[in-house]
Amino acid sequence: MTKPAQKKFNEVSMQKVVGKGYNRYWHFKGRYRVVKGSRASKKSKTTALWYIKSIMQYPEANLLVVRKVFRTLKDSCFTELKWAIHRLGVDAQWDVKESPLEMTYLPTGQKIFFRGLDDPLKVTSITVEVGVLCWLWVEEAYEISKEADFDMLDESIRGAVPEGLFKQATLTFNPWNEHHWLKKRFFDRADEEVLALTTNYQCNEFLDDSDRRMFEAMKKNNPRRYRVAGLGDWGIVEGLIYENWKEEVFDINSEQFRKDHPGLKSGFGLDFGYTNDPSAAFIGFVDLEHQQIFVWDEMYEKGLSNKRIFEVLQSMGYVKDHFTADSEEPKSIDELKGYGLRTKGAVKGKDSVMNGIQWIQDFEIIIHPRCVNFITEISNYTWATDKFGNKLNEPIDDFNHLMDAMRYGLQQYIKKNGWIY
């Protein structure tokens, strides 16, 4: 029988570290813990703390951490778990490696594995040396658009577990769209094996006054976004701007793809952000003959300086390409040019946004699965409404960073068709 080992975390008070709002979550041992929550609801930090503490208490438990795209793990779950190790004061008991991305609890050899759904063979081929693989954490589960992909992950927690241990999958996410399979499977029906919670920033006592003022401003200025990003409610999506799109694996470098699309042209767009909004880069290709847009890659990150934008695009291999950026940021464009990024400002005119949207609407949009932020935006990018609910002839001022970057990147082709961009 496996009994939880008693560990001292350098006299750290778990109640003070974790705070309030997650008591049921912390003690639940059913098969599924599913938490939808607003930003700053501490769901990821609480989850990271729970896993570090619990692995140290259950000497036969191992953890698999998954996101849809592997490259997003290092700056999210991996960083959160490193933070949890340090916060609990147990750094000396853990070996943390970035290559391969992995964590080992030194006293026992238990491991935390990190995998992306973009390489499914690596997900299904994990072998543990100590104990069993019994826990799964799916961060940003909203990115997983196919329920079958989650079922495959769920099946990776396989085999018998010793008495006293338990199998469990934890899913954490922001609930942008009420039509997602997560709602129907975990929130719309009761199941004793499922703990489905909604959390928000109001249960996070660690926020400072400036954080709370940001949410209050969102509540006043963007109530639609506040319902999801502030309160953790399901997003209600009506009046999508782009409906003719699909998620599909493709390889622009393959001989067959180039043969199927001989006139393929590239488009690189850049939308600037910083504190509250992400800087977003669209990397795509357009087949004008077959009216198809291929979304190949993306950059999407908050808090990037212009130098850091250049460095990220350089690391992605796009620094030699020609970008069209938001012309309302001429200083940023000049700085990027100085670093070596070939950048020009988008030409804007009357009705430029609507002209660009209408042109793109005539195309089928094929999105590579790694472009998770593009998928989130396009599935939530809707027409604005007035106070009576009537649709306006303009898009909402939300979920538009990559949508704008796409228009900028394709501007040269829109102009060729007679549009004044």
Q: What is the DSSP string of 53-68?
A: HHHHH-TTEEEEEEES
Q: Which residue's entry shows tokens 């200025």?
A: 221
Q: Name the stretches of the chain with pLDDT < 50.
A: 3-6, 417, 419-421
Contact partners, residue 72, CB within 8 Å, separation at least 6: 116, 140, 372
pLDDT of residue 420: 40
Q: How far apart are alpha carbons 186 and 194 in whole angstroms?
A: 7
* Sheet strands (E) in 219-341: 245-247, 265-271, 279-287, 292-301, 322-325
Q: Residues 46-68: pLDDT tens digits?
A: 999 999 999 999 999 999 999 99
Q: Which residue's entry shows tokens 């006299």?
A: 11
Contact partners, residue 4, CB within 8 Å, separation at least 6: 57, 58, 164
* Sheet strands (E) in 312-379: 322-325, 342-345, 364-367
Single out the residue of 238, 246, 219 nearest to residue 230, CA to CA: 219
Q: How far apart are alpha carbons 40 and 230 in whole angstroms?
A: 8
Q: What is the pTM of this model?
A: 0.84
pLDDT of residue 39: 85
Q: How far apart are alpha carbons 144 and 169 in whole angstroms?
A: 15
pLDDT of residue 221: 84
Q: What is the end-to-end Cα distance of the chain in Å, rounded?
A: 69
Q: With beta carbons less than 8 A apart as the criterion, state whether 203 and 211 touch.
A: no
pLDDT of residue 12: 61
pLDDT of residue 421: 39
Q: Residues 272-294: pLDDT tens digits?
A: 998 788 999 999 999 999 999 99
pLDDT of residue 104: 98
pLDDT of residue 321: 96
pLDDT of residue 247: 95
Max Cα–Cα distance, the chain, nearest Å: 74
Which domains are present in the chain? 19-230 (3.40.50.300), 245-416 (3.30.420.280)
Q: How far apart are alpha carbons 264 and 356 in whole angstroms?
A: 19
Single out the residue of 273, 285, 279 nearest to residue 312, CA to CA: 279
pLDDT of residue 110: 97
pLDDT of residue 223: 85
Amino acid residing at 138:
V
Q: With beta carbons less than 8 A apart as the criterion, state whether 309 and 325 touch.
A: no
Q: Is 28 helix (H, G, I), strand (E, B) or coil?
A: coil
Assign 3-state DSSP to the chain and report helix, strand, coil percentages, each to 5: 35, 25, 40
pLDDT of residue 2: 52
Q: What is the CA angle 145-147-149, rounded to 5?
A: 85
